[in-house]
Amino acid sequence: MATRVRKAIFPVGGLGTRFLPATKSMPKEMLPVVDKPLIQYAVEEARAAGIEEFIFVTGRGKSAIEDHFDHSYELAATLSARGKIAELQLVRDTLPTPGQVAYTRQQEPLGLGHAVWCARNMVVDEPIAILLADDLILSDTPCLKQMIDAHAQLGGNMIAVMDVPRAQTASYGVITPGRRDGRLIEVKGLVEKPRPEDAPSIHAVIGRYILQPQVFEHLSGLERGAGNEVQLTDALARMIGDGPFYGYDFEGRRFDCGTRVGFLEANLAFALRRPDMRDRVKDFLKNYT
Ligand code: G1P
């Protein structure tokens, strides 16, 4: 049995330039899908997978995220005085157990690898999960739970993968696949954002990772890669051969909430799953086809 995964890192320092002007003074991770911020979906997914400690790598202008996962006394008092019990519960549900959340700042936006490296002193010799809130996944079993269950048997490194159209490989990390066994695909190589003609496959990396702590050593050189950023994918490529390394072809639909159209689609898909909204949404959609 592999060591249990207890900690998760949430890199939330990105600037969110694709959503300007909405993200001028608001973190992109606070954009709501229906009525819940993206970051809360990610935290709930981690909690459902058994994660006990939540490490946020934030940046300037991101304090709304810290406030979201804290008490809001005035709001709670007002809701309570008005007898709004259901709403009060929604507000309380955001609260982590005291001491379960830690924040550190990525002082400069030098890339995902750099963001993860910023959390190195908060993880000592145990595997970690990493969740990118931009990748929202609708599934029967939360994506990270699917992976943690598989990882408990296998150990090593595991990353979520999904097939994408070849024309889109330049937006993703892409694996060189080895043997396939059910949902598991052996990872023999990794490259960040290859051109379609250079991509080793169409199995793209999606923002869920379970990694051995050696990743921090592999990141410590802070070498720049694609886009002149410190890439997590490059550090992972250097870990191949250190132990088992699998891609996990998860069950579920992933929405790229880092793009405007993906975000819009996520809103529709999640609204259509809500019994209180489904019929009205279906009804008005007829006006647009
Ligand atoms: C990041 C990773 C990339 C991965 C993608 C998934 O890229 O660097 O390997 O495929 O997330 O969403 P980004 O979307 O931040 O450019």
Task: Give the DSSP per-residue string, 197-262.
Answer: TT-S-SEEEEEEEEE-TTHHHHHTT----GGGS--HHHHHHHHTTSS-EEEEE-SSEEEETTSHHH
CA atoms within 13 A on the CB side of 83: 0
Cα–ligand 1 centroid distance for 218 (angstroms): 18
Query: 246 vs 143, 151, 174, 288, CA distance in Å?
Result: 15, 9, 13, 42
Nearest to 18 by CA among 259, 207, 254: 259
Chain centroid to CA 242: 24
pLDDT digits (tens, 9 = 90+) for 260-278: 999 999 999 999 999 999 9
Q: Which atom of ligand 1 is nearest to the CA of 204?
A: 10
Confirm if 152 and 129 have CB atoms less than 8 A apart. no
Confirm if 250 and 183 have CB atoms less than 8 A apart. yes
CATH architecture for segment(s) 7-288: Alpha-Beta Complex (3.90)
Confirm if 239 and 189 have CB atoms less than 8 A apart. no
pLDDT of residue 96: 86
Amino acid at 75: L
Q: Which atom of ligand 1 is nearest to the CA of 14?
A: 15
Digitized pLDDT (tens) for each residue of the chain, 289 residues in all: 678 999 999 999 988 889 999 899 999 999 999 999 999 999 999 999 999 999 999 998 899 999 999 998 999 999 999 999 999 999 888 888 888 999 999 999 999 999 999 999 999 899 999 999 999 999 999 999 999 999 999 999 999 999 999 999 999 999 999 999 999 999 999 999 999 999 999 999 999 999 999 999 999 998 898 999 999 999 999 999 989 999 999 999 999 999 999 999 999 999 999 999 999 999 999 999 7
Please tell me the distance from the alpha carbon of residue 154 to that of residue 146, in angstroms, as a whole number. 13
Nearest to 105 by CA among 232, 202, 13: 13
Cα–ligand 1 centroid distance for 126 (angstroms): 24
Ligand 1 in reach of 271 Cβ (< 6 A): no
Q: How many CB atoms lie within 10 A of CB 70?
A: 12
Please tell me the distance from the alpha carbon of residue 266 to that of residue 36, in angstroms, as a whole number. 12
pLDDT digits (tens, 9 = 90+) for 76-134: 999 999 999 999 999 888 888 888 999 999 999 999 999 999 999 999 899 999 999 99
Please tell me the distance from the alpha carbon of residue 237 to that of residue 240, in angstroms, as a whole number. 6
Cα–ligand 1 centroid distance for 203 (angstroms): 13
Cα–ligand 1 centroid distance for 35 (angstroms): 25
Ligand 1 in reach of 135 Cβ (< 6 A): yes
